[in-house]
Homo-oligomer: A and B are copies of this chain.
Amino acid sequence: MGPAMKTLVSRCPIEEAMQVLSGRWPTLLLYYLKDGTKRFSDLQRDNPTISPKMLALELRKLESAGIVQRTEFGGYPLRVDYLLTPAGLRLVPLIDALGAWWEGVAEPGPAAAAGVPQDGAPAR
């Protein structure tokens, strides 16, 4: 990932989007949130290598970018739900397209392309 993207060098929307999506976690979280509402501990289980600190930071970044909605229910133990906003849902197919593109990078060219429609599946 990614470099220090705390600042921007252009007013390009692409750079702004990459500022949010750069790094290992944002797209992986997108992937797991595709399925619907998840809780903090669900996402920890889905992805055992993320630390709670990073999970909280990334979720808040996605929230403030308008990609994820956070809903806090009072009471104890505290309960919080995360789900994709409409903008987040619109992003999903674009990310999937990136994964499909990467799978074809090594390929020769536009010729042979008999692809089985498949999902971008992160094997664990």
Seen from chain A, the residues whose Cβ lies within 8 Å of a Cβ on chain B are 1-6, 8-28, 31, 36-39, 42, 47, 49, 54, 65-67, 69, 71, 73, 81, 86-87, 90-91, 94-111, 113, 117, 119-124
Q: How far is the CA of A6 from the CA of B104 in the complex (A)?
A: 22
Q: Once bound together, how far apart are the Cα atoms of A49 and B3, in whole Å?
A: 14
Contact between chains at B47 and A13 (CB < 8 Å):
no
Contact between A119 and B66, CB atoms less than 8 A apart: no
Q: Is the CB of B81 within 8 A of A13?
A: no
Name A93's closest neighbour in chain B (CB-CB): B97
Contact B113 A14 (CB under 8 A): no
Q: Is B2's CB under 8 angstroms from A105's CB?
A: no
- Selected from B31, B94, B106, the residue in CB contact (under 8 A) with A94 is B94
In the complex, what residue of chain B is closest to A110 when comparing beta carbons? B86
Cβ contacts under 8 Å, A109 to chain B: 86-87, 90
